[in-house]
Amino acid sequence: MIAAITDGSRSEAERKAIALLRSGGITGWTANAPVCGYVVDLAFVEQKVAIDIDGFVRRSIARNRAERGFEL
């Protein structure tokens, strides 16, 4: 839990992504970076790359809506 607080991650999926970046020695990223009025999960600011990670709950909501005929 302490690692989650210090790296700024908010979900298990974000924590896994951060662990992969760290284990691969990939640097230069920021967690929960403000970009144009939004907060993106991971950002490589110098490269102008933003990554948004949707975990299981979000995917399940989208899938449920799609199955019910909601337009996504």
The b-or-e profile of 11-48 (16+ CB within 10 A means b, else e) is bebbbebbeebeeeeeeebebebeeeeeebbbbbeeee
What pTM was estimated for this model as a whole? 0.63
Whether the pLDDT of residue 2 is over 60: the answer is: no
Give the Cα separation of 65 and 72 in Å (integer): 8
3-state class (DSSP) for residue 28:
coil
Q: What is the DSSP letter of 14?
A: H
pLDDT in the model for residue 11: 83
Q: What is the pLDDT of residue 69?
A: 60
Q: What pLDDT was estimated at residue 58?
A: 57
Share of residues in the chain with pLDDT > 70 (%): 62
Output the pLDDT for position 16. Answer: 92
Does position 19 have pLDDT exceeding 60, yes or no?
yes
| Domain spans, the chain | 2-67
